[in-house]
Amino acid sequence: MPDKVLQRGWLIPQGQSFNVGTTGAKVFSGPAQEEFGYTVQQFTNHQGKWLLVGSPWSGSPGNRKGDIYKCDITGPGSSCERLNLRNSVTISDVENINVNMSLGSMLTHLTHETFMTCGPLWAQRCGSHFFLPGVCVEVSSHFSSLHAFVPVRLNCGPVDLMIVLDGSDSIYPWQPVIAFLRKLLENLEIGPDKTQVSVMQYAVDTSFEFRFNSYGSKESMLAAVSNMDQKRGDRTNTFSAIRFASEYAFLPQSGGRPGASKVMVVVSDGESNDIVIRDQVIAACEKERITRFSIAVLGYYSRNNIDPKTLITEMESIASAPTERHYFHVAAEEALLEIAATLGDRIFNIEGTGKGEDFQMEFAQAGFSAHQTSKDVVMLGAVGAYGWSGTVVHQKGQNFDVLPEKAFENILDNKNHSAYLGYSVTSLRHGSTEYLVAGAPRANHTGLVVVYTVDSTGQASIRDTQRGTQIGSYFGSVLCPLDVNKDGVTDVLLVGAPMFMSEEKKERGKVYLFAVTDGILSDQGFLEGPSAVENARFGMAISAVPDLNLDGFSDVVVGAPLEDNSRGVVYVYFGDKTTVRLQHSQRIAGLKVDPGMQYFGRSLDGSGDLNGDTIPDISVGAYGKAVQLW
């Protein structure tokens, strides 16, 4: 390598440091209330060179769809233009809303002249509820939406809800039962392609009050319920009623729909007279995949000073597992009204998605993070999947593969959920092999980084893991791979833990350095950064830079947006052979760029040369501002 290199027209001794300029910085301003500057990305197309700036709260309060601004890097002014992508996001074959979808919270390159942004809070309506699967938008070189797509499709399948009511003599008074039914029905989205309801009443025998196909509107159904008389009878044949309902209620001639989820609610105030058939009746319900809720009304027992233990045990045996989610009891008939809303919450994911289990992809927020691998696979983090354990969605072309919960459950050690796997995603290269990486900053409270591969059948195999060293540090929330010597092999992986606390109890932040050998990570220490006596959130953003000092090695910039009383600081670190020097070569204070700067370094991009001098340039996001440094 030569002893001197040409830098901006000057011969500089090899290895000597020089500064990223601040006096010639170009500062773009946007609406701070929209979180303008949350993300930044350099972009080049046939029209020129641009700085794309994410503004995920763009829109009115309560309707923050988010958007992207394009800022002219090389033009004479410092103006930015909104792309208005938020108005083009509709998915034609699903019922959806666009409120608070947060477009612009993620930006990533796809091809040379296209990019993608996602709105992880995009909501899809299922029944009477809204879920957050997330949406992504591919944007053309002309800054127009090519198409919007939902990485995780929810099957908002219809639900057939069968209500089985005890109408025996001991139920008293009857009117609270009617009020309970009305309130429950009022909270349901009833329709031929949504929820259908049928009601049976029993005592000695069982009969339909109405079937699934009896009424065409909620109003007519509510009128029928209001006029429903108590059946009466001196026996309580609960299990005969359940058997009758399971055999006849869901038939096509009764309005039952193929593929609809079968749900049964059983309400009774007394021990059954036919408990001998219980086991076979419940087994038949299980075989038919009928999800069962049971409600024990204890009014008769309270009025007559009788121990309700036997009734409670019986009604618990009717409920689907887990019992605590599917069983209720109330002190009297009047208290039924109080649990109508709670019952609706308990069947929340059944009514919308046809599942009687814990949340799967209903709150996936796919697109929370994104990365395109060298093999044209787009990795999309889905932090809310599986009860916020999180997962990763792999997209190639029109195909989307969602990694199942079992792929990572052993390493997440996620007894209390909320590991947030997919908070960050990236990949590592080793010759023709590519390893995929995902961060889970809340796994086991200390955070986790997972290196894995996926075979041709879609099965994931764990290659390596690294855990954080401090509870609450958010280790793994930021990932940055670096091929230092540019030989096509990833040399190091930098991992941010921006909430790492110093001994002075300040959120100093920490950036770990791991050497990479064929997908295996080995600890190489951590970057030296801000002082330990103030909050900094060092490592909240990390970006690879091709080569700032023209020594042939790739470099790194790291943001500390809370440092200097939240004005923010960006640090520059030089690459060296196959690693990164732990001591920074430059500290760029946001205050020196603009006296009104806040959160300078919250986002970074140093991927390209924007002014044509062959040296990469650094783009920095701040609160309400985006800065271009040369």
197 within domain boundaries: yes
Spell out the residues 6+ positions from residue 21 whose beta carbon is closer than 8 angstroms to its own: 629, 630
Looking at the 3D structure of the chain, how many domains does it have? 1
Which DSSP category does 590 fall into? Answer: H
Given a cut of 80, is residue 277 above it in pLDDT? Answer: yes
Given a cut of 60, is residue 350 above it in pLDDT? Answer: no
Query: Going by DSSP bridges, is the β-strand pair 159-166/261-268 parallel, antiparallel, or unpaired?
Result: parallel
Q: Are 292 and 285 in contact (CB under 8 A)?
A: yes
The 10s digit of each residue's pLDDT in 25-80 is 999 999 999 999 999 999 998 888 999 999 999 988 777 889 999 999 888 888 89
The 10s digit of each residue's pLDDT in 505-526 is 999 999 999 999 999 999 999 9
Rounded-to-integer distance, Cα 84 and Cα 349, Å = 33
283 within domain boundaries: yes
Rounded-to-integer distance, Cα 136 and Cα 370, Å = 10
In the prediction, which pLDDT does 339 show?
79
Rounded-to-integer distance, Cα 8 and Cα 49, Å = 20
3-class SS letters over 469-506: CCCCCCECCEEEEECCCCCCCCCEEEEEECCCECCCCC
Give the chain's length: 630
The 10s digit of each residue's pLDDT in 107-162 is 998 876 889 999 999 888 775 567 888 899 999 999 988 888 888 877 666 789 99
Distances (CA, A) of 325 to 195, 269, 357, 578: 20, 19, 10, 54
The 10s digit of each residue's pLDDT in 534-556 is 999 999 999 999 999 989 999 99
279 within domain boundaries: yes
Query: What pLDDT band is residue 493 in, cutting at 50, 70 and 90?
Result: very high
For residue 403, which phi and psi values (nearest 5 degrees)? -65, 130
In the prediction, which pLDDT does 92 show?
65
Mean pLDDT, all residues of the chain: 89
Count CB neighbours of 302 within 10 A. 12
Query: What pLDDT band is residue 184 in, cutting at 50, 70 and 90?
Result: confident
619 within domain boundaries: no
Given a cut of 50, is residue 12 above it in pLDDT? Answer: no
**612 SS3 class:** coil
Query: Going by DSSP bridges, is the β-strand pair 63-64/59-60 parallel, antiparallel, or unpaired?
Result: antiparallel
**DSSP string across 208-259:** EEE-TTS-SSHHHHHHHHHTPPP---S---HHHHHHHIIIIITSGGGT--TT
**562 SS3 class:** coil
Q: Facing residues of 161 across strands?
A: 197, 263
| Consecutive H or E run containing 451 | strand 448-454
| Consecutive H or E run containing 340 | helix 336-346
Report the share of the chain in percent with pLDDT over 70: 91
Q: Facing residues of 70 across strands?
A: 52, 81
In the prediction, which pLDDT does 94 show?
62
**Among 7-21, 103-117, 276-290, whose mean pLDDT is lowest?**
7-21
399-402, strands of its sheet edge to edge: 366-372, 378-382, 391-396, 399-402
Query: What pLDDT band is residue 195 in, cutting at 50, 70 and 90?
Result: confident
Query: Encoding tokens for residue 271?
Result: 């021990």
Query: What pLDDT band is residue 495 in, cutting at 50, 70 and 90?
Result: very high
Rounded-to-integer distance, Cα 525 and Cα 307, Å = 66
Rounded-to-integer distance, Cα 237 and Cα 39, Å = 64
Within 13 Å, how many C-alpha atoms sit on residue 76's CB side? 0
329 within domain boundaries: yes
Query: Encoding tokens for residue 387?
Result: 């009860």
Query: Encoding tokens for residue 323?
Result: 């019992």
The 10s digit of each residue's pLDDT in 597-630 is 999 999 999 998 888 888 999 999 999 999 999 9
Which DSSP category does 613 fall into? Answer: S
243 within domain boundaries: yes
Average pLDDT of the residues in 572-590 = 96
Rounded-to-integer distance, Cα 424 and Cα 383, Å = 9
Which letter, b or e, does each residue of 40-71 get, where b requires 16 or more Cβ atoms within 10 Å of its Cβ?
bbbbebeeebbbbbbbbbbbeeeebbbbbbbb
Which letter, b or e, does each residue of 511-526 get, where b requires 16 or more Cβ atoms within 10 Å of its Cβ?
bbbbebeebebeebeb
Q: Are 491 and 483 in contact (CB under 8 A)?
A: yes
Q: Are 557 and 570 in contact (CB under 8 A)?
A: yes
The 10s digit of each residue's pLDDT in 211-230 is 999 998 889 999 999 999 99
**184 SS3 class:** helix
Query: What pLDDT band is residue 15 in, cutting at 50, 70 and 90?
Result: very low
Best CA proximity match to 42, nearest among 556, 600, 607, 623? 607
In the prediction, which pLDDT does 3 show?
44
* Domain span including residue 333: 159-351
In the prediction, which pLDDT does 249 show?
95
Which DSSP category does 174 fall into? Answer: S
Candidate ranges 17-26, 75-84, 408-417; pick with highest mean pLDDT? 75-84
In the prediction, which pLDDT does 153 show?
77
Average pLDDT of the residues in 563-575 = 97
The amino acid occupying position 225 is V
Give the CATH number of the domain where residue 333 resides. Answer: 3.40.50.410
Rounded-to-integer distance, Cα 468 and Cα 446, Å = 5
Cα 362–115–101 angle (5° rounding)?
A: 35
Report the share of the chain in percent with pLDDT over 90: 64
Spell out the residues 6+ positions from residue 225 whose beta carbon is closer than 8 angstroms to its own: 178, 181, 182, 185, 199, 209
3-class SS letters over 84-140: CHHHHCCCCCCCEECCCCCECCEEEEEECCEEEEEECCCEEEECCEEECCCEEEEEC
Rounded-to-integer distance, Cα 230 and Cα 228, Å = 7
Q: Where are the beta strands (DSSP E) in 483-617?
A: 492-497, 510-517, 520-526, 541-545, 555-560, 569-573, 575-576, 579-580, 586-589, 603-605
In the prediction, which pLDDT does 167 show?
95
187 within domain boundaries: yes
Count CB neighbours of 433 within 10 A. 12
Which DSSP category does 566 fall into? Answer: H
In the prediction, which pLDDT does 16 show?
45
Given a cut of 50, is residue 372 above it in pLDDT? Answer: yes
554 within domain boundaries: no
